[in-house]
Copies of this chain bind each other. A is one copy, B any other.
Amino acid sequence: MQAIHSPRFPRVLPVLALAVLAACNGRGAPGAGAGGDVLKLMQARNLSEQDVTAALKTYTPTGRHDEYYTFASGGHGGNLIVIGVPSMRILKYIGVFTPEPWQGYGYGDDSNAVIAQGFRGGQEITWADMHHPALSETGGEYDGKYIFVNDKCNPRVAVVDLSDFMTKQIVSSELIASEHGATFVTPDTDYVVETSQYPAPLGGVYAPIEQYDEKYRGAMIFWRFDRQKGRIVPEQSWAIELPPYMQDLADCGKKVSDGWVYCNSINTERAYGGVLEGKPPLESGATQNDMDYLHCIHWRAAEAVVKAGKTTTIAGMRVITLQTAIDENLLAFVPEPKSPHGVDVTPDGTGVVVGGKLDTHTTVFDTQKIAAQMKEKKYVGKDPYGVPILDFKGSIFGQCEIGLGPLHTVFDDKGYAYTSVFIETVVAKWSLKDLKVVDKIDTHFNIGHLVAAEGDTVSPDGKYLIAMNKWALDRFAPVGPLLPQNFQLIDISGPKMQLLYDMPLPLGEPHNAQMVKADKLKPIEVYKPVGTNPFTHAVDPHATIGGQQRIERKADGVHVYMTAVRSHFSPDIVRVKQGDTVHLHVTNVEQAKDATHGLAIGGQNINVSLEPGKHVNITFVAKKAGVFPFYCTEFCSALHLEMAGYLLVEPN
C-alpha cells in the first residue's frame, strides 16, 4: 500500500499544507490534530487527492437529503429503483410487476388486482423485464407526479403514483408479443408510447415463421393517459402497424418537433435465425445491411386519423394499418447506420441523435428537414411494404466521429451531448454545435444507457451523469458468479468529467433511468383521512376506526373489521371454521409519520404493510384447521413483539 501510495503525496493538499504549517509555525495550531487525522486517513485508506474530492462531493451527512432522485428500471427484477444523488444510496425498491411482501404488494386484495391486470392470455405473470422508465411531463419538463415503466418480455406498461410511490395500474395489449421502445411520454403526457420489438402476428395468433414477411408485424401503441384519474385509459388508446423489422428505442419530439415520435429499427433484413435449420443466427443475419430505418411518425396527425375512425380493431386495440399510415402520410423512414440503437431528441427538439452499435459516429437527424420533406412528400424510394423513404444526407444535421459502438445520448445545460460508447466503454462528451468530441472518460465496464440530471427534458441541469455499466468484473467485493451492475456517478459541471462514485446494483439489471430534481416531488407522509385505500384514494367502505372493530358472519364469509395501533390489533382473537372465506378489513388508525404496522398471518401466505392511515382488505380461505398466530411485522414500538393475536380455525 505504502509503495503505491507515496508517489501521490506531493499532490495532496492537507499533507502539503501541514508541512508548510510546520515549517513556518512551530507551535501546534488548532485543527492541526484534525489535519493529522485527514493525513492519517489518506495514508491508511490509500486515498488520492481526487478520491478526497470525490468523497466530499458525494458524502451526505446524517439528516441531509439528496439533491436529485434517480428512478432506474429494475430490469428483470420487475421493480423500480429509487436512488439518491449524489450519495448514490438506494432509497426504495418499488414493487411494480413482481410481488414484493415488505410493501405487501401482491399479498392483499387491491394490490393483487393490480398485478392481475398484467396477466396475459390467462397466464399468471409474476415478473417483468423493465427497461425504460418515463417521468410524467408538463411542457417537456418533469412534473414529479407519475412515473411509467415497461415490460419488454410480456409487453405491459405500469403507472406508478409518486404521491405514495406505489404502483396503481398495469395495462397490456395482446396486439404485440414483445416490446422495447417503451415507455416514452409526449411532452404533456397525453400519451405513453410502447413499441414492439420482435415481430409476431398481430393479436397473439399463430403463424409459421416461414410466413414472417407476410404475417409478422410490429406496432407502436399510444396509451392515452388521463392525468385527472392518474390512469391510462385503454379505450382511448390506439396503435400504428409497422413492418416486421425489429423496432428498437423511441423518443418523442419536443418544442419544434412536438407532435412527432422517432423510433429506430434493426433487422431490416428480416432474419429470424434458425441455426439448427441451416440458417445463420440472428446476430449475423440481422447485421448485413449498412443502413436500417429511423421511423418518423407524426402522432398528432395519426390521432386525427384515429378520431376519423380510419382504424381496424385487433385484440381490442384500434390500429391504424400500415397501408392507412402510408396513405395518410403519417410514417416515413430515413436510413440510419449501422445496427442503430439509441435515439434521443435534443432539448430544443431540432435534432434526433442516433447511435449505431457497429458504427463509429453518432448521427444527428434534423427534425425540421424531415418534417418539411414529408410535407412535400419529397421521397427517394419505398421499402418492401411501401413505406416512403427520405434521403439520408438531406435529412441530417451532421455526424460526430465518436468511437466504436455509440449507444445512448443525454444532454447538459451548456450545449453538450454525452454518448455512451459501448465497445470503447467510455462516455464521450461532444458539442452539439460543431459535432466535435471535447472529452472522454473511462467507465467500468460495458456501459449501456446513461442518465443526466433532467437530461432528456427541454432544460437539462448538467451537474451529474450516471453511466449504467452492465459488467462490474473486479469493482466490488465478490458475491459469487452473478455480479451486480455498476452505476458510476460522474461530475459533468466542469470542462473535464470526473468520476465520483461506483455504486453496485444489488438486485436487478437496470437499463435506463431518469434523474429529477428532488424538490419537484411532493410525496405524502401519511394517508389522510384515516382509512384511505391507496388504490381508490378514498376512505375504504370497510375502513374501521376505534369502537367499530367487530367480526360479522355474512353470506360471503366472515368479515373482520380490525384496527392496528401501537401496540395491538383489535380484534386480536379471530375464530373461524375450517373452509370459511375470511375477509380482513384492517385500518392503521395512526397519523404519526413512519408509524407503520404490518400484519402477517401464519399459514396463509399473507403479509400486508399498513402505513399510517392506510386501509387494506385481505381475502383468504381458511383451508386448514389449526392455531395460526398473527402479528405486526413492522417494528413499531417497545412492545412490538406483543402486538400479536391468534387466528383459530376450528375443524369441521
In the assembled complex, the CB of A393 is this many whole angstroms from the nearest CB of chain B, namely 26
Q: How many whole Å from A598's CB to the nearest CB in chain B?
A: 6
* 18 A-B residue pairs with CB within 8 Å: A12-B34, A14-B17, A14-B38, A17-B18, A47-B59, A63-B474, A74-B102, A90-B506, A101-B128, A178-B602, A205-B625, A276-B570, A281-B568, A283-B567, A283-B568, A339-B639, A509-B633, A509-B634
Which stretch in A118-126, A305-313, A327-335, A383-391 binds the other chain?
A: A118-126
**Set B13, B30, B472, B572: member contacting A34, Cβ < 8 A:** B13
Q: Are A611 and B200 in contact (CB under 8 A)?
A: no
- Would you give the 0/1 interface string for A514-534, flagging 1 where the beta carbon is closer than 8 Å to chain B? 000010010111110000000
Within 8 A of B (CB), among A276-332: 276-277, 281-283, 286-287
Closest-CB distance, A159 to chain B (whole angstroms): 15
Q: 8 Å CB contacts to B: which residues of A535-581?
A: 549-551, 567-568, 570-573
- Interfacial chain B residues near A408, Cβ < 8 Å: none
Distance, CA A550 to CA B57, complexed state (A): 55
CB proximity of A4 to chain B, nearest CB, Å: 12
Residue of B18, B46, B61, B272 near A47 (CB, 8 A) is B61
Is B282 a contact of A642 with CB atoms below 8 Å?
yes
Q: Write out the residue numbers on chain B whose beta carbons fall within 8 Å of the beta carbon of A128.
A: 101
CA distance A17 to B37 in the complex (A): 14
Is B642 touching A286 in the complex (CB atoms < 8 A)? yes
Chain B residues with CB under 8 Å of A21's CB are 17, 20-21
Instruction: Give Cα distance in the complex from A597 to B283, angstroms.
Output: 15
Contact of A472 among B502, B507, B594, B613 (CB under 8 A): B594
Assuming the contacts A18-B17, A478-B523, A572-B281, asked whether A76 and B56 have C-beta atoms less than 8 A apart, the reply is no
Q: Mark A181-198, 1 if CB is under 8 A from B, else 0.
A: 000000000000000011
Number of copies: 2
**A455 part of interface (Cβ distance < 8 Å):** no
Contacts of A266 on B, CB cut-off 8 Å? 641-642
Q: Is A25 an interface residue (CB 8 A)?
A: yes
Partner of A59, one of B55, B121, B357: B55
A62 located at the interface, meaning its Cβ lies under 8 Å from any Cβ of chain B in the complex = yes
A246, A286, A507: most-surrounded residue (chain B CB, <10 A): A507
Name the residue on B nearest A215 (C-beta).
B627
Q: Give the contacts of A33-81 with B (CB-CB under 8 A).
A: 34-35, 37-38, 41-42, 45-49, 51-66, 69, 74-79, 81
Question: CB of A626 within 8 A of chain B?
Answer: yes
CB distance from A278 to the nearest CB of B (A): 11
Pairwise interchain contact B282-A594, C-beta atoms closer than 8 A: no
Cβ contacts under 8 Å, A628 to chain B: 177, 200
The answer to whether B24 and A38 have CB atoms under 8 Å apart is no
